[in-house]
Structure 1
Amino acid sequence: MASTTIVLLTLIAYKIILLGVGFWASKRVHNESDFFLGAQGLGAWTAGLSYAASTSSAWVLLGFTGLVFSQGAVGLWLIPGIFGGYILTWFVIGPRLNSETASRGYMTIVDFITGDVSAKWKRSIGIVCALMILFCFVFYISSQFQAAGNALTEIFNINATEAILIGAAVIVIYCLLGGFWAASITDALQAVVMMLACILVPLATLHAAGGIGAVMTHIHTVETPSYISFTGGAAGMAGIGVAMGLLGTGLGALGQPQLLNRIMAVRSSSERIQGAAITIGWGLIIYTGLVCLAFAGRKLSIDTGGESLFFAAAEQYLPPVLAGVVIAAVLSAVMSTVDSLLLAAASAVSHDMGLTYRDPARALLFGRIAMVSIAILAVLMTLFLPKDIFSRVLFSWVALGAAFGPTVLTKCLGWRVRGGEVLLAIIIGFSTAVIFANIDGTQADMIEKWASWALGLGILFIGKDRHGKSD
């Protein structure tokens, strides 16, 4: 059986499973809370694995691996940043976010942000936050479409436009079938698939490269000094800036609606702690495997340009049947990540903007229309504004993190801040990240990742109410 036939059959089987999950989940959706937050009913495994999968899809399997493959040890600074984000979201933000969601009936992270804000500011903050989510998620979703399109192009030899349209169509159809329940369960399934793939492919590639010892010998004796430098060869403050810029990426997790929604939806405090352990354990397996794959790929001189390394290694070093299954499963996982993004964007329009707040039926309809509209915009951007996967995801990730992260964190630390300062901190943090994301250089990267947060925290500190009132 041809490799492409195996991939195609596996893709079809995987999609049938996802559709089955969507159909099952649809029977549990009875109102807006069910659709957007699963009625706060997630268990530890579903919450932990779906959170993990939502943090790491195309940009990890393809973008992170490509970064380490092409630039070397400097890319490893992302790892402590990502794990720092895990710890802050689950253990610092998590307790209050989860408990207050249960006691006040929140459905989105914007509800949490505006929970103690007076009515005169609540609507304005909700609209601004919703527009930011829409703006960023168009970029984020576009990166997923591009990743799926790249893989389909490589495997089936179809042109990029056809590949992206096919991938987008599959995603949108699936998303319209189910809400938060379906997204969480399928993302948990995706996390398991990714973990298995990140064990099998690196092990096979390391074996082909002669083992970990041979790979490390090659890295230290053949590669340039800049490749094994944790500053990418930059010296002094420039080197520190490079490292800090990558490390600061982890802060973005504190402002991602699709991640924080998982913590909001966990059933209990004990299951939240279990979910955190599951996420961290999953991350250790994934990142270890991908770093080994990147370095082994350098020794084997796999010529892929970086971002196709995972698929190329699977094809070359796994048995044909297993390679086909792995490629198809990972491709499906990359595509299915978009469901959480579309769901968060839909809730931003139909709930956070308050357009149909008093009419649940119309709210769901508006949400579904938003899903389709956002998907169309993302496809158009993918086709006409090509850019590498890694930078596009990091831009949207950092911008949302700078917008919402400081407010979410300080509220969980017990700060009560006036509504005007909350809105200003969100706008300044977001604007700073967006502006400096489009400027090259280490200094601009530092401002984008760290100064955007510092400005937001400074504004919130000024607006902090010392008498226990928010306005």
Structure 2
Amino acid sequence: MNNQNMYVVGATFLVYLILMLGLGIVAYRRTKNLSDYILGGRSIGPTTAALSAGASDMSGWLLLGLPGYALVAGFEASWIAIGLLTGTWLNWLLVARRLRVYSHAAKDSVTMPAYFSHRFNDKSHALRVISAVIILVFFLFYTSSGLVAAGKLFETVFGLDYQLAVVLGTLAVVSYTLFGGFLAVAWTDVVQGLLMSAALVLVPVFALNAIGGIDAAHAAIAAKNPELLTFFNDAKGQPLGWIAILSLLGWGLGYFGQPHILARFKAISDEKEVPKARLIAVSWTALTLFCALSVGWVGLGYLQTDLADAETIFMVLVDSLFHPVVAGILLAAVLAAIMSTADSQLLVSSSALAEDFYKAILKKDADGAELVWVGRGAVVLIAILALLLALNPDATVLSLVSYAWAGFGAAFGPAILLSLYWRRMNRSGALAGIVLGGLTVVVWKQLSGGIFDLYEIIPGFILATLAIIVVSLFTAEPEQIVLDKFDEVEHKLA
């Protein structure tokens, strides 16, 4: 990109960042207590909830990781999209309404650790502390993936040193999250979600037009490697085994345990709005996943030479196909994708420190204003730690996301699902499932070969589910107060 075009793109980025910061300042004026800061006072509507959940879910992975994988693997990448779309639908169908109602009934729990603690009347705080530790550990990797994506964006577009680019991306994300909290994150997510979807539609359409249409693109890919056009073979022509297909579909299991996505369910203003939000969320996810895959597939036909980094394909196509002003807007979509997830992750992590460590353990009488400032300090601390992890230029967005996604999905997914539907589940079962699910992911990730090539979320999810059921059945029934609360919520949901 020449200097003149770089200045135009840079000006577009600056306008976009000013807009996001402005939303953060407006949200700051409406943030009075911790519930406002963490969940926006449970006041967001269905459209905001749906787009915010989608935008915070997909991150820079949607515009960098998935198109890059589609560029390298061809139609094989469809299996991930199928798993993710199914997971999105099931999460909104099975979890959203029940979690909104139950988290409010469980002493208005604004964080996931607080929900587990109040759901099972855990006076020892073991559930709360262990859940918070898992959130902090895996969100360091997840947030780092967003900062890596930011580094690649600024490095590719502006030719900056990678490490300087990561620092600039971190400052951009922290700026409005620090002040506005959940409302700033939710409002900016709506803008970012719309921008991401528009960019993902435009880029493959213009690229296809430049190639000469779908038939021309198909012929160009077939000439390079016909195996990229198959669903059941890999790029080398080897059949995809059941381990590979299950591993790709298994990404859908992760949705049930993602704290930053589940927070949107708790924040929706009325549980009766969930069906409307579900329709919007699933439609947005279907559109953006298909278009992200199309960016990679069309890129296969468009490029004359291979890219050194496949995860830059979206940015390369934008730079090649569009006027600098339009390119600046479309590249801002990458920044939007990064910011929309990293801000949510920072917010959930800070809430774990403020609500589940500081208030629950250190200072039980801390008031709302004090906790908000503790949360803001935690945002800065966690951002610095994630930044240090992201400074490694060899890190890839997809690998960091896959590890964190598996960790949350296995540790929290079964516990959330069963806690919402199974009356007999108790504190000991919840604790066993959360610990075993998280540990399985960590251990399985270090092993390879044979069954250990299976994506770690699947064994983690299965073992966590079994642990919850077995331990709950072989230990004492929940206390009567816990059973009464479950019955009360079931009556309200009926």
TM-score, normalised via structure 2 length: 0.90
2:232 to 216, 230, 235: 230
Partner of 2:421: 413
Partner of 1:112: 115
Q: Which amino acid aligns with 1:317?
A: L
On the 8 A contact 1:25/1:178 being kept in 2, the answer is yes
What is the deviation of 1:117? 1.5
On the 8 A contact 1:356/1:362 being kept in 2, the answer is no
Identity %: 31
Partner of 2:459: 451
Gaps of 5+ in 1: none
Q: Aligned to 2:310, what secondary structure does the other structure show? A: coil
1:402 has 2:405 as partner: no
On the 8 A contact 1:231/1:240 being kept in 2, the answer is no
Distance 1:252 1:357, change over 3 A: farther
1:344 has 2:348 as partner: yes
What is the deviation of 1:377? 0.9
Matches of 2:450 and 2:318 in 1, distance apart?
A: 35
Deviations for 1:10-64, whole angstroms, at most 9, x for unmatched residues? 1111111111111111122111111111111110110000000011121111001
Alignment length (residue pairs):
469
On the 8 A contact 2:9/2:324 being kept in 1, the answer is no
What is the deviation of 1:226? 6.0
Distance 1:451 1:336, change over 3 A: closer
Matches of 1:225 and 1:47 in 2, distance apart?
A: 40
Deviations for 1:158-177, whole angstroms, at most 9, x for unmatched residues? 11111111111222222211
Matches of 1:197 and 1:93 in 2, distance apart?
A: 30
**Which runs of structure 2 are paired with 1:146-161 in the superposition (5 Å)?**
146-161=148-163
What is the deviation of 1:231? 4.3
Partner of 1:320: 324
1:95 to 94, 97, 122: 97
Deviations for 1:345-399, whole angstroms, at most 9, x for unmatched residues? 0111111232444313332222122111111111111114742110111100111
On the 8 A contact 2:138/2:404 being kept in 1, the answer is yes
Q: Which amino acid aligns with 2:341?
A: T
Matches of 1:140 and 1:467 in 2, distance apart?
A: 35
On the 8 A contact 2:408/2:438 being kept in 1, the answer is yes
Gaps of 5+ in 2: 480-494
On the 8 A contact 2:21/2:175 being kept in 1, the answer is no
**Which runs of structure 2 are paired with 1:276-315 in the superposition (5 Å)?**
276-301=278-303, 303-304=306-307, 305-315=309-319
* 129-138 vs 169-178, greater mean Cα deviation: 169-178
* 437-446 vs 421-430, greater mean Cα deviation: 437-446
Matches of 1:94 and 1:6 in 2, distance apart?
A: 42
1:182 has 2:170 as partner: no
Distance 1:86 1:460, change over 3 A: same
Deviations for 1:126-158, whole angstroms, at most 9, x for unmatched residues? 111111111111111111111111111111111
Matches of 1:81 and 1:15 in 2, distance apart?
A: 33
Please report the RMSD computed on the Cα atoms of aligned residues, expressed in angstroms.
2.1
**Which runs of structure 2 are paired with 1:6-405 in the superposition (5 Å)?**
6-104=8-106, 105-121=108-124, 123-220=125-222, 222-225=224-227, 228-232=230-234, 239-301=241-303, 303-304=306-307, 305-353=309-357, 354=360, 355-359=362-366, 360-384=368-392, 386-405=394-413
Matches of 2:159 and 2:435 in 1, distance apart?
A: 44
Matches of 1:466 and 1:275 in 2, distance apart?
A: 39
Matches of 1:413 and 1:351 in 2, distance apart?
A: 26
1:464 has 2:472 as partner: yes
What is the deviation of 1:335? 2.9
On the 8 A contact 1:421/1:460 being kept in 2, the answer is yes
Q: Aligned to 1:308, what secondary structure does the other structure show? A: helix
What is the deviation of 1:325? 2.0
Distance 1:62 1:440, change over 3 A: farther
* 96-105 vs 419-428, greater mean Cα deviation: 96-105
Q: Which amino acid aligns with 2:97?
A: P
* 426-435 vs 281-290, greater mean Cα deviation: 281-290
What is the deviation of 1:467? 11
* 151-160 vs 165-174, greater mean Cα deviation: 165-174
Partner of 2:490: none
Matches of 1:386 and 1:128 in 2, distance apart?
A: 31
Distance 1:10 1:95, change over 3 A: same
Matches of 1:446 and 1:87 in 2, distance apart?
A: 24
On the 8 A contact 1:231/1:242 being kept in 2, the answer is no
Q: Aligned to 1:225, what secondary structure does the other structure show? A: helix
On the 8 A contact 2:250/2:455 being kept in 1, the answer is no
On the 8 A contact 1:15/1:332 being kept in 2, the answer is no
